[in-house]
Amino acid sequence: MLGRIERQISISDYWLQGKIPENSYWHRMRKWAMEYLDEDMFQPLFSYYGRPSISPIYTFMGFLVQLEKGYSDREFEEESRFDDRVKYAITAPRDFDGIDAVTLHDHRTRFFNSDIGIKIFLQVLEQAKQAGMFSEGNLHVIDSFMVWGKSARQDTYTMIYQAIKMVLRLARLGDDISVEGLVILKRKDYDKKLKKPEVNWDDEEDKKKQLDMLVKDALALVKYIRKHAKAEDPDLLSACKLLERVATQDVEKDENGMYIMSRGTAKDRVISVNDPEMRHGHKSSSKIQDGYKAEIITGGEKGELVLGVKVDAANTPDGEHMSELIDEIEESGHKIDKLYGDSAYCDFEEIEKREKEGMEICVKVQDAVNRNGLFTKDEFEINLEEGTVTCPAGEVAEFDKKKVKKRKKTSVNFSKETCEGCPLRDKCTNSKSGRQITIHKYEERLQEQRKYQKTREFKEDYSARANGERTISHVTRHGGRQSRFVGKGKTGIQILMACINQNIKVVMGHIINKAKKPKIGEVCPILA
In degrees and rounded to multiples of 5, residue 137 shows phi and psi of -95, 30
pLDDT of 516 reads 75
What average pLDDT does range 205-210 have in this prediction?
Answer: 94
Checking if the pLDDT of 115 tops 60, the result is yes
Mean predicted confidence (pLDDT) in 216-239 = 86
Among 131-135, 227-231, 283-287, the range of highest mean pLDDT? 131-135
**Of 282, 293, 352, 364, nearest to 323 (Cα)?**
352
Model pLDDT, residue 403: 86
pLDDT of 187:
87
Task: Report how far residue 376's alpha carbon sits from residue 307's, in angstroms, rounded to the nearest whole number.
Answer: 39
Distances (CA, A) of 491 to 77, 149, 403: 22, 8, 43
pLDDT digits (tens, 9 = 90+) for 63-90: 999 999 999 999 999 999 999 999 999 9
Distance CA 344, CA 342 (A): 5
> How much is the pLDDT for 7?
74
Mean pLDDT for 437-456 is 91
pLDDT at 135: 81
Query: Which helix (H) or strand (E) is 12 found in, with range?
Result: helix 11-17
Strands 381-383 and 259-261: unpaired
CA dihedral angle for residue 394, residue 400, residue 406, residue 407, rounded to 10 degrees: -50
Note the pLDDT of residue 15.
80
**Exposure b/e, 200-218, CB count within 10 A at least 16 = b:** eeeeeeebeebbbbbbbbb
* DSSP per position, 472-489: HHHHIIIIISB--SSSHH
Whether the Cβ atoms of residue 145 and residue 293 lie closer than 8 Å to each other: yes
- Looking at residue 229, its pLDDT comes to 75
- Where is pLDDT greater, at 242 or 50? 242
Residue pLDDT, tens place only, 461-518: 999 999 889 999 999 999 999 999 999 999 999 999 999 999 999 999 999 988 876 6
Nearest to 153 by CA among 280, 317, 26: 280
Please state which of the ranges 194-208, 222-236, 248-262 shows the lowest mean pLDDT.
Answer: 222-236
Residue 18 pLDDT grade (very low, low, confident, very high; cuts 50, 70, 90): confident
Give 245's pLDDT tier (boundaries 50, 70, 90).
Answer: very high
The pLDDT value given to residue 196:
93
Task: Say how far apart CA 112 and CA 193 lie, in whole Å.
Answer: 32
Mean pLDDT of 231-254: 91
Give the residue among 55, 23, 96, 88 at the shortest CA–CA distance from 511.
23
- Give pLDDT, residue 227: 83
Residues 287-317: pLDDT tens digits? Answer: 788 999 999 999 998 899 999 999 999 999 9
Give pLDDT, residue 32.
Answer: 96
Q: Residue 182 — very low, low, confident or very high, per pLDDT cuts 50/70/90? A: low
Q: Coil, strand, or helix at residue 47?
A: coil
> Considering only CA atoms, which of 334, 348, 343 is closest in space to residue 409?
348
Half-sphere exposure of 281 (CA within 13 A, CB side): 24
Phi-psi group of 347: left, alpha or beta (phi > 0 → left; psi -120 to 50 → alpha; rest → beta): beta
Q: What CA dihedral angle connects 316, 317, 322 and 325, to 10 degrees?
A: 10
Cα 105 from chain centroid (whole Å): 23
Q: What is the mean pLDDT of residues 118-125?
A: 96
Question: Which CA distances in Å does 45 have to 6, 109, 115, 292, 503?
Answer: 20, 10, 10, 28, 24
pLDDT value at residue 121: 97
- Residue 183: per-residue pLDDT: 58
pLDDT value at 211 more than 70: yes
Work out the angle between the directed axes of helices 204-228 and 234-248 (0-180°, nearest 10).
150
Distance CA 374, CA 427 (A): 5
Say if residue 154's pLDDT is above 70: yes
State yes or no: pLDDT of 369 exceeds 80. Answer: yes
pLDDT at 523: 54
pTM of the entire predicted model? 0.90
Mean pLDDT of 160-180: 79
In the chain, what percentage of residues exceed pLDDT 70? 95
Q: Are strands 251-253 and 259-261 parallel, antiparallel or unpaired?
A: antiparallel
The pLDDT assigned to 119 comes to 96
Is residue 526's pLDDT more than 60? no
In percent, the amount of the chain with pLDDT more than 90 equals 68
pLDDT of residue 242: 96
Q: What structural domains does the chain harbor?
A: 11-114 (no CATH), 140-148+281-364+460-501 (3.30.420.10), 156-261 (no CATH), 377-450 (no CATH)
Measured at the alpha carbon of residue 251, what is the angle toward residues 245 and 252, in degrees to the nearest 5? Answer: 120
CB 514 within 8 A of CB 131: yes
- The full 3-state SS of 496-509, as one line of letters, equals HHHHHHHHHHHHHH
How many other C-beta atoms can be found within 10 angstroms of the C-beta atom of residue 231? 6
Q: Are 137 and 301 in contact (CB under 8 A)?
A: yes
DSSP H stretches of helix in 90-185: 101-112, 116-130, 156-173
Q: What is the pLDDT of residue 422?
A: 92
Q: What is the pLDDT of residue 407?
A: 85
